[in-house]
Amino acid sequence: MSFDKIIQSWKKKSFQPVYWFEGDESYFIDLLVQEAENNILSSDEAAFNLTTFYGKDADWAAVMNACKRHPMFSERQVVLLKEAQLMNNIDKLESYIESPLSSTIFIVAYKGKTYDKRTKLYKLLEKKATIFQSQKLKEGKIQEWIIEHVTSIGCKITPKSASLLEEHIGSDISRIVNEIDKLRINLKDTNIIDENSIELFIGISKEYNAFELQAAIAQKNLLQAIKIINYFESNPKASPIQMVLPAIYGFMSRVYSAYGLPNKSDASLKPLFYFNPVALQQGHAAMKNYGYQGIEKIILLLHHYSIKGVGVGDDGTSSAKLLKEMVAKIIMEC
């Protein structure tokens, strides 16, 4: 079952006896657990009917006994098993999951991975439990999620600002949300998150970042590209090469994909660039300045320097020097 469907069913007071939340994206699992802790029971009911276990310290027999208790002064009780991936003998819960109490809502948070689907326990869960698999957002969906999340909290964010957050933070949803919360708290007299607020409150330069380096490369502006890399060199934490190269590679891969489209109008290309008008403009510039073969060469160079960036086939060249060397080859030779 999806995250939204679980939340909607809980708001309608429709509950299942066993929930199993698993996956490598902890953020959505944590939200569901928080919702269960705070909103399934009233505060008076929770005093007697909310029981929490932590996997590292939990004894399977104690968990089962808690689940088998009947609620006090309430129609239902909630039993939470957090950090279940750390629990020994978790498979011993099979006998309870086979015949759960209808008055108990048993919620298991198995974070950071998924349980082995070949096991007896998982096959039982598929029959008896509501399973939610929390997966990392795929590349191409992060900016869209950022915009949707910002809208959901009553604010707006510019496309470029969403790009900056993604490139600076990556796919770590918890960190993205924390930074957005920081921005919302600091915004005054406006509900719009733009590049200025991101620079002021998060410290991501609006002029010297991976997104602007990408633009300089697309426009074949070597001078501007070197200025940006010099800023990176002076501020090592701003944009390490391990963050810059994947961002540029992702952009060039989308440009490369554009050549496979029969129609190269803005309407056709917009989905490739996540409906970000600035990225679309950069995509057009890259296609015009490099052509199909040039983009192919750029992707090969990015792969080559990505390997050198982690020390393979390199004798310790600085990240800034590698970036300058790569950018010069791209702009001058591709």
Mean pLDDT of 72-82: 96
Q: Are 106 and 136 in contact (CB under 8 A)?
A: no
Number of structural domains in the chain: 3
Q: Residue 194 sits in which domain range?
A: 142-201
Among 30-39, 103-112, 188-197, 284-293, the minimum mean pLDDT is found in: 188-197
What CA dihedral angle connects 304, 309, 314 and 316, to 10 degrees? 160
Q: Are residues 178 and 226 in the same domain?
A: no
Select the more confidently predicted residue: 271 or 64.
Answer: 64
Q: Are residues 22 and 117 in the same domain?
A: yes
Residue 284 amino acid letter: H
Total Cβ atoms within 10 A of residue 74: 18
Most confident of 36-50, 203-217, 232-246: 36-50
Q: Are residues 38 and 68 in the same domain?
A: yes
Domain boundary among 112, 133, 154: 133
Domain boundary among 179, 201, 223: 201
Q: What is the CATH number of the domain that holds 289?
A: 1.20.272.10
Q: How many residues does the chain have?
A: 334
Domain boundary among 97, 115, 133: 133
Q: Are residues 186 and 121 in the same domain?
A: no
pLDDT at 316 over 80: no
Q: What is the CATH number of the domain that holds 165?
A: 1.10.8.60
pLDDT tens string 153-207: 999 999 889 988 888 887 889 989 999 999 998 988 889 999 999 988 888 888 8
Q: Are residues 266 and 171 in the same domain?
A: no
Select the more confidently predicted residue: 170 or 82.
Answer: 82
| CA separation for the pair 62, 104 (Å, rounded) | 15
* SS3 of the chain: CCHHHHHHHHHCCCCCCEEEEEECCHHHHHHHHHHHHHHHCCHHHHHHHEEEEECCCCCHHHHHHHHHCCCCCCCCEEEEEECHHHCCCHHHHHHHHHCCCCCEEEEEEEECECCCCCCHHHHHHHHHCEEEECCCCCCCCHHHHHHHHHHHCCCEECHHHHHHHHHHHCCCHHHHHHHHHHHHHHCCCCCEECHHHHHHHCCCCCCCCHHHHHHHHHCCCHHHHHHHHHHHHHCCCCCCHHHHHHHHHHHHHHHHHHCCCCCCCHHHHHHHHCCCHHHHHHHHHHHHHHHHHHHHHHHHHHHHHHHHHCCCCCCCCCHHHHHHHHHHHHHHHC
Q: Are residues 240 and 186 in the same domain?
A: no
Q: Are residues 216 and 183 in the same domain?
A: no
Q: What is the CATH number of the domain that holds 129?
A: 3.40.50.300
Among 36-50, 70-84, 181-195, the minimum mean pLDDT is found in: 181-195
Q: Are residues 224 and 312 in the same domain?
A: yes
Q: Binning pLDDT at 50, 70 and 90, where does residue 327 land? A: very high
